[in-house]
Amino acid sequence: MTDTAAPPRTSALTWFEIATTDFDRARRFCETILETTLIDRPFGTARIAVFPYDRETGTGGCLVQGPEWKPCSNGTIVYLDADGRLDRTLERVPAAGGRVALPKTALPEGLGFVAHILDSEGNRVGLHAMS
């Protein structure tokens, strides 16, 4: 059997998982700073809560807790969408139990703005906004 060429993707990212040690605390943190509700889904013995997304056009991801997942502040950085609300999102981070690690920073060539936070679990998470 040979592989056939896959159609081009619209995004290099298809799914992300953010590790937690205290699942409920991490969920409250994300729901508070992003002003959203995560959705519980079954996943073997692990606990996951999925960020809302459009399956047809968006990239999905979740918080996850299980023995194979460990929070990390110095590995791959996942950027969450904070378009139009980056400043408000950063303002909520300390009260939700996190810390701003990189304040709002302009990207070159009109690519928008980024910031890094350390979440309630110690993960470094990026935030991105065009405005």
List, for residues 71-122, the tens digit of each pLDDT value.
999 999 999 999 999 999 999 999 999 999 999 999 999 999 999 999 999 9
Domains of the chain: 15-129 (3.10.180.10)
Mean pLDDT on 64-74: 95
Q: Which pTM value belongs to this model?
A: 0.84
Site of tokens 């302009």: 106
Sheet holding 46-50, edge to edge: 15-19, 60-65, 46-50, 39-43
